Every structure is written in C-alpha cells, then in structure tokens.
Amino acid sequence: MFVAHGFRCAAIAVMLITLPCTLIAEDKFPLGDDLRLLESDTQSQEYAALLAQMNGPDLDAEWRRVETRDSAATFAKQQGGLEKVKADPALQAAYERRAKIREDYLNLIRGVYAQRKQTAPFDKGQVAMAAGTVRGSEVPALDLAIVLPSPGAEKQWPRFRGPTGQGIAVGDASTQWPTTWSDTENIAWKATLPGDGNSSPVIWNDRIFLTTAGAAGSQRSLHALDTKNGAIVWTYELPEHAIEPDVRDKNGFASATPVTDGERVITYFGSGGLICCDMQGKLLWKYDTSNFNSLWGSGASPLLYENLVILVHDQNRGASLAVALDKVTGERVWSIERPKAMGWSTPTIVRMKERDELLYAGGEMLTAYEPRTGKQLWSLAGPTKEVVPTIVIGERLIYSASGRQGPTLAVRPGGSGDVSETHLAWTAVRGGPHVPSPVLFDNKLFVVNDFGIATCVDALTGEFVWQERIRDKFSASGVLLGDTIYFPSETGVTYLIRASGKYELVGKNSLPDPILASPAAINGRIYMRSGRVLYAIEQPQ
C-alpha cells in the first residue's frame, strides 16, 4: 500500500513537472474580457452566422475588435518586450495564445469578405486603433443637473427614456418591479395596435401616447391609450402627404417618440411634419417638414424646454433640421443651420450653475447650444459620423457614445468655442453602440451594443470594468429598475443584468415579438412595445 502511494505521488509529481505551459499561462496570465470574448466568437457558429448577416459598415467596424486591450502586442509590451517573453516558456505560451486568437479571428472575418468577393480592409493596409481608454484634460468639473420637460414630469414618463431622458424608472424604494413574465404571465393587458412603429410609449397620468404607420408610410397616426386596459381612447391621423424615400424597414415611419407636458402631446413624423395635439386629440398646430430627406428615414424625438419644443435631426440629403417652436402656438422662435449628416440622436439639456446647455451629438461633433436662442456655445470633435444614442448626464460629466463600435466620450460641459483639447475627460476608444443608449448608475456606465456585447466602464475614469457576450441583437435602450437594467432584444427576450462591478445576468423573459422600441417603466409597471403590440407588464400585488 505504501508502495502504491509512492507511485501515485511520483506520478503526480511528473504531471506537475510536465504540465503544458499553455495551462500554466492560462492560470497565470488569463485573457482580458474583450480578448476572451474574441476567442469565444472565433469558435461560435452563431457568431459566424451573425457576421454573414452584417451589412458593410457593421462588418467594417466589427473586424476592428481584433485590437483588444489584451492583444499579443500589448501583452508583450507589458511583460518587458518580445525577447523577454520568448525567454520564458509560460510568457511565450500566453503570447502565442493571444497571437493565435488574433489570427483565427482575422481568418474568420477574411472568409466573410471572400464570400462577398471582397478583400478584407486589413489586407489592404487598414489598421485598427488599439482598444483602451485615453485620458484627456483635467479641467475642473462642474455640478450638473438634468432639466425636466415640464413641472410634474418627475412623476410621469413624458418623453423618450423617461422624465430625465436617462432611462431611469419612475418609482420609489418600495416599488415592486416585475422580474419574470411571458406572453401569458404577469401581463396586465396587451393591446394590438392599428399599424407598425418603433416609437416608445410615453405616459401622463392615465394616458399612453405612441405612434404608428401603415404600409410604406401611409396612415401615420398618434394614439392615446387608456393605462387601465390598453383601449385606444383617440387617434389623430395625419393627412395624406409626400412620403420620404429610402426608409429602412427596420427603422420604419413611426420611430420618433412623442413628448408631453400634460397639456399637449407633440410628435414628429419626418416628411409628415411636427404636430401638436391637445390631450383630447384635437390638432393645435403643425410645423411643416415636408422636405425631410435622409437615408433610412427619421427617428430623432422632440424635446420640451420651458415654453419651447426643440427638434434637431440631421439629414444627409436634405438640409439638417434644428428648430425651436413656441409649444403653444407652433411659431418658430429660432432655427440654425447644421451640416449635412446622418443622425438620429435625441438632444438633451444639462443645467449648470450659470447656464443651461442644449446638447446634441451628430456629424462627428458634440455640440452645445443656448436652448433659448440656438446660439452655439461650444463643440468637441470625436463622435462617429452616424450617432443614434442619447447623451447621458452624470453628476460631473456628460457621456456621448456612438457606433458602429465607435468611441464613448466623457466631457466636461461649460466651455466656449472648440473644446476638443480642453474639456475631454476620457475616451473609451472602441465598443460604442450604434443604436442603444447607455445607462448610468453608481458611477458606472452600462451598455449592450447592437450585436450583444455587454460592457461596463468606470464613468469617472473610463477604465474597463467587465465585458460579456449576449448572443442576441439589440436596438432598444435599456432601462434601470432599482439596481437592475432591463435590456430588451430584437428576438423579444429581455435580459436583466445587475448594475454592478461584476457581470450578473439575473433573469431572462421572452415575448413572442421583436422589441426595438425602448420600454417605459413607471410605478411598478413596464410598458413594452413591439411593432404592433403594446404589453403592460406588472407583478401581481
């Protein structure tokens, strides 16, 4: 027995001595989250199918993920250089693993381009910028506040992404939010809508407002529904008008979210104009935007500020639109010229001690205007040429994310002129979403991008906290309920992720329809809208 035990110990000793360096390297030099996801993607048939579905701009952005924070080149530099790495078997194994992931990923991308009879950009000399966070200037930060659209708005869901425009649920510490649901479970009611659309529902007291459109942009309508049962209370149908060209199916003709102050509801229909109805559905005024002409269609939502309704919507064919109207009369108060660009971001307003600033990201520029006059205050270069996400406002910084796989910028407002060199606090080089907007909680910025990469960064420093893959696609922006963010997907699954410094998926709930509209969450009820169905989701009390 002693001899057998001795042989066993000897065998274990031999195993330890001959343990492959790759296993030692995996334990001692684990992959960073973004490189780990890259390795997983190279081995995934689901990811290969996703690549095959990507359009040209998305694929061009996707291959740049190869330059991770933990790439072979970065690893070698961090370890003291390639010669030192090659002299240590464990270091060399870790380096070679990283190099192999890179080559496997590029081969995967290369194959997709080959199927399209194209040469991959990296085989034509294009180089991706290294991932990571670039620190900016140290200008003293200001205390920031969010401007609500009207008195009493804090108790309502009056605009895109709620009263603050930040995707934060309306409730208190005692509010019980639903954590499980299906097509038949925890559904207070569901309403079939008389048309398609991706506009989010907005709520004021017992009324829900949203928009729909018929086939090819016909019969565009604003509806008011009853919160008790989802019944349509009234409909304002837009008169016949010229239909804008080249509207993408995924975007549709009813994507802009209405805004209300409890006395009127205002919404934007692209070439159908900006319209204002009273709370009973009577048309009060209409502002003509019949010359709207931009690839993929309209989508930016109007914003209320004091006595103004403000609409900013860049166009790459027609003249970009930036206008403020008297919300009572519809008379134009100011309008400004903006360069032609493709953009669907909804503006927001930040308040500092000395002034308010209207913030808008688009056309490769983040710009601040004086909201009462439209006068430009400052600008900062950095966003990509197509911006959809809304700007997020923190206690000291504002955050602008843009895709495709573009940067996330942390900026100190309050400047004058070109502040690109003076007011940029940090830049996260890659990973920005094309459509979904980020959520800020506890000084952490959370986002799930269009192709399912969930990321958390430190909002104060821009440092990477965690990253995980959700094998789904996303267009809707997440909403924060308590300490959990609800991210609806294009397959109808909503992913519940804990808003913390560690990735934790706490639930998944399915509905039978794709969800592209951002949800509303108020007083314990979630309103989730698919193209033609509105769901009221509620936990039984």
Rounded Cα gap, residues 521 and 532, in angstroms: 19
Strands (E), 347-411: 348-351, 356-362, 365-369, 376-381, 386-387, 392-393, 398-401, 406-411
* Residue 20 confidence (pLDDT) above 70: no
Contact 229, 243 (CB under 8 A): no
Residue 87 inside a domain? The answer is yes
Helix or strand (DSSP H, E) at 321: strand 321-326
Rounded Cα gap, residues 92 and 4, in angstroms: 37
Contact 273, 284 (CB under 8 A): no
Q: What pLDDT score does 132 carry?
A: 87
* Residue 24 confidence (pLDDT) above 80: no
Nearest Cα neighbor of 501 from 12, 10, 33 is 33
Residues sharing a CB contact under 8 Å with residue 296, sequence separation 6 or more, in sequence order = 246, 247, 248, 251, 342
Nearest Cα neighbor of 484 from 33, 171, 95 is 171
Residue 193 inside a domain? The answer is yes
Answer yes or no: do 76 and 217 share one domain: no
* Residue 23 confidence (pLDDT) above 80: no
Mean pLDDT throughout 186-197?
97
Compute how many other C-beta atoms are within 10 angstroms of the C-beta atom of residue 228. 10
- In sequence order, what are the beta bridge partners of 521? 526
Sort 405 into a burial class: Cβ within 10 Å, 0-12 / 13-18 / 19+: buried
Q: What pLDDT score does 218 carry?
A: 85
Mean pLDDT throughout 45-54?
96
- We report the CATH number of the domain holding residue 292 as 2.130.10.10
Residue with tokens 């209409």: 286
Looking at 84, 107, 131, the residue that finishes a domain is: 131
Sign of the torsion formed by the C-alpha atoms of 59, 62, 63 and 64: positive
Residue 138 inside a domain? The answer is no
**Tokens describing residue 174:** 């005692």
Answer yes or no: do 75 and 181 share one domain: no
Residue 136 inside a domain? The answer is no
In this prediction, what percent of the chain has a pLDDT beyond 70? 95
Mean pLDDT throughout 287-296?
92
* Residue 4 confidence (pLDDT) above 50: no
Looking at 100, 131, 162, the residue that finishes a domain is: 131
Answer yes or no: do 384 and 502 share one domain: yes
The residue segments making up the domain with residue 35 are: 2-131
Residue 252 inside a domain? The answer is yes
Residues sharing a CB contact under 8 Å with residue 196, sequence separation 6 or more, in sequence order = 212, 213, 214, 252, 253, 254, 531, 532
Answer yes or no: do 99 and 153 share one domain: no
How would DSSP label each residue in 459-495?
TTT--EEEEEE-SS---SPPEEETTEEEEE-TTSEEE
Answer yes or no: do 127 and 165 share one domain: no
Residues sharing a CB contact under 8 Å with residue 18, sequence separation 6 or more, in sequence order = none
Residue 362 inside a domain? The answer is yes
Answer yes or no: do 266 and 302 share one domain: yes
Answer yes or no: do 408 and 264 share one domain: yes
pLDDT tens for residues 69-101? 999 999 999 999 999 999 999 999 999 999 999
Residue 371 inside a domain? The answer is yes
Q: What pLDDT score does 21 carry?
A: 55
Query: Given pLDDT bands bounded at 50, 70 and 90, which one contains residue 405?
Result: confident
pLDDT tens for residues 138-185? 777 789 999 999 999 999 999 999 999 999 999 988 999 999 999 999
pTM for the full predicted model = 0.93
Answer yes or no: do 518 and 439 share one domain: yes
pLDDT tens for residues 32-42? 999 999 999 99
Q: What's the distance, Cα to Cα, between the start and end of the chain in Å? A: 66
* Residue 195 confidence (pLDDT) above 80: yes
Rg value, the chain, Cα: 25
Sort 379 into a burial class: Cβ within 10 Å, 0-12 / 13-18 / 19+: middle
- In sequence order, what are the beta bridge partners of 213? 196
Contact 244, 321 (CB under 8 A): no
Mean pLDDT throughout 101-120?
97
Answer yes or no: do 163 and 193 share one domain: yes
Looking at 69, 102, 131, the residue that finishes a domain is: 131
Query: Given pLDDT bands bounded at 50, 70 and 90, which one contains residue 393?
Result: very high
Answer yes or no: do 407 and 429 share one domain: yes
**Tokens describing residue 302:** 């109007």
Mean pLDDT for the chain overall: 93
Mean pLDDT throughout 4-21?
42
Query: Given pLDDT bands bounded at 50, 70 and 90, which one contains residue 13?
Result: very low
Helix or strand (DSSP H, E) at 52: helix 45-53
Number of domains in the chain: 2
Contact 497, 487 (CB under 8 A): yes
Answer yes or no: do 361 and 390 share one domain: yes
Least confident of 22-31, 85-94, 371-380, 467-476: 22-31
Nearest Cα neighbor of 360 from 326, 313, 297, 404 is 313
Contact 372, 306 (CB under 8 A): yes
Residue 137 inside a domain? The answer is no
User: Does residue 404 have a cis bond before it (omega within 30 degrees)?
Assistant: yes
Q: What pLDDT score does 306 carry?
A: 98
Element counts in the chain: helices (H) and strands (E): 8, 37
Q: What pLDDT score does 10 carry?
A: 40
Residues sharing a CB contact under 8 Å with residue 32, sequence separation 6 or more, in sequence order = 68, 69, 70, 464
Answer yes or no: do 373 and 406 share one domain: yes
Q: Helix 33-42 crosses helix 45-53 at what angle (to 10 degrees)?
A: 90
